[in-house]
Each structure stands twice: as C-alpha cells, then as structure tokens.
Structure 1
Amino acid sequence: MNVQTRVKERAEEQSTAMSADQQAAIRTLANDLHRLNHAVMKAVEAGVSVELVRSARHHGGGGNWGDLLIPVIVTQAQ
C-alpha cells in the first residue's frame, strides 16, 4: 500500500469524530504537508539536505497545541 494513501486513510478515520470546521482544517493541513514533503524532495534532489526542527509550540487554548517547524538546510561543499 502506498504510504501517502495510508496517511490519507488514517486522517479520514480520525476525522469522523470531528466537527466540519475541524475536518476542513485537517484537510488543509494534510494538503499543505503534502506540498511541504514535495518541496523537501525537490530541495534534496537539488543537492541540499533538509531537516525540519520544532521551533516553537503553539497553544490554542483548551489544551490544544501544535508544533511549529523551521527548516535547517545543509549544503554540500563543492
């Protein structure tokens, strides 16, 4: 089974107990993560190494939180 397909299936399974607004936010997040992963692959193919590191944690109240990321880029010496 394709990894991307399984991630999508897991997200859909988890979203059944969420509100419509929460489901829309998760779909947006999943789409943006797909684009981010594609961008990381393009950067790697261009010759750099990419590490995503948590830079902060956003707290939304009510116990909800999310990790914010920054890229650490390493170029190879020519």
Structure 2
Amino acid sequence: MTVQTRVKERAEEQSSAMTADQQAAIRMVANDLHRLNHSVMKAVDAGVSVELIRSARHHNEGNWGDLMIPVVVTQGS
C-alpha cells in the first residue's frame, strides 16, 4: 500500500489561510531551504559530512522559528 503525502495540496490549503506577506515569507524560506539542501549535497560530494542542528529558537508574538547551525566533519576527523 502506497501512502500519498499530499504535500502540494496541504501547502496550498495552508497558504490560502495566510496573508500575502506571510505567503511571500514562506516562499522565501522554501527557496532558501532548496538552496541550502543543494549546498549540503555539494559539501557531501566534496567529502564532508554535514549535520544541521537547532542553535536557538526565535520567538515573536506567540510564533516561533528554529535557527540552525551546521556541524561539519571532514573524512580525516
């Protein structure tokens, strides 16, 4: 049995409840994450291991977001 995640449909449902500014902010996060994932793959291909860990959590008026830092390990370590 194949489980369908409905990612696109859920994203559209969630974004319809957001303001235009919120939608723009989420698009920016998604674009930056795409670039980050590409950079992580390039680093791994270059011979290092990369782990992203939460370094802090930013709060504002009941909302929060995780702030990340990379932990990098070279093959010789």
Length-normalised TM-score, structure 1: 0.83
- Calculate the aligned-residue CA RMSD, in Å: 1.6
The CA deviation at 1:73 is 0.1
What is the number of residues matched between the two proteins?
71
- Runs (4+) off by over 3 Å: none
Question: Share of identical aligned residues, percent?
Answer: 80
Note the alpha carbon deviations across 1:25-77, whole angstroms, 9 max, x for none: 0001000000000000000000000000000000012x100000000000011
Structure 1 or 2, whichever has the larger Rg, is 2
Q: Which amino acid aligns with 2:25?
A: A
Report what 2:32 is aligned to: 32
Unaligned regions of 5+ residues in structure 2, if any?
1-5
Alignment of 1:1-78 (within 5 A): 7=7, 9=8, 10-61=10-61, 63-77=62-76
Length-normalised TM-score, structure 2: 0.84
SS at match of 1:25: helix
